[in-house]
């Protein structure tokens, strides 16, 4: 079963772009295991406290994690380093639109899943 590690902006995609990333991941990969690093949860909790659309997107993202029961994985690293840490340990693909994280993932030979167009996900394998 393929592992997909979510970045902060991946969890905000449903609110910001109206995409159901779970449905898109199933279309792209079939059944997969979705993992959310603890670093992402920490970042989402901070963003959820803010006013405006980013705060609302973060709140929605946290609700999705709770409702869908995605697997949470502890990491001592923060931010992108936390996402990379989990993806490397789990040999997982990273779902993100963050340019810097995509670049780091490619340099490590990890697959990157990103939003293509209005509401479709695409995978870039780095074999």
Per domain, the residue ranges of the chain are: 2-124
41-46: list long-range contacts, CB under 8 Å, 24+ apart. Answer: 41/65, 41/72, 42/78, 43/8, 43/78, 43/79, 44/8, 44/11
Q: How far apart are CA 45 and CA 42, in angstroms?
A: 5
Per-residue confidence (pLDDT) for residue 118, from 0 to 100:
78
pTM of the model: 0.94
What stretch of H or E contains 35?
A: strand 32-37
Per-residue confidence (pLDDT) for residue 69, from 0 to 100:
86
Structure-block tokens of residue 122: 């695409």
Instruction: Please name the CATH architecture into which domain 2-124 falls.
Output: 3-Layer(aba) Sandwich (3.40)
Q: What is the mean pLDDT of each run of 10 residues along the chain (127 residues)?
A: 94 91 93 95 94 91 92 94 96 94 94 90 85
Q: How many CB atoms lie within 10 A of CB 28?
A: 18
Residues 74, 86: contact at Cβ < 8 Å? no
Please list, in sequence order, all residues whose beta carbon lies within 8 angstroms of the beta carbon of residue 38, skipping any fewer than 6 positions away: 72, 73, 74, 75, 82
């Amino acid at each position: 079963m393929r592992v997909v590690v979510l970045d902060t902006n991946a969890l905000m995609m449903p609110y910001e772009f109206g995409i159901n990333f779970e449905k898109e991941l199933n279309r792209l990969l079939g059944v997969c295991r979705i993992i959310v690093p603890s670093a992402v949860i920490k970042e989402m909790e901070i963003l959820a406290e803010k006013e405006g659309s980013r705060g609302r997107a973060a709140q929605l993202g946290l609700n999705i994690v709770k409702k869908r029961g995605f697997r949470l994985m502890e990491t001592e690293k923060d931010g992108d380093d936390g996402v990379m840490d989990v993806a490397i340990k789990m040999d997982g693909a990273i779902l993100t639109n963050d340019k810097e994280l995509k670049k780091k993932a490619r340099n490590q030979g990890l697959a990157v899943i990103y939003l293509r167009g209005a509401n479709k996900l695409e995978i870039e394998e780095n074999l």
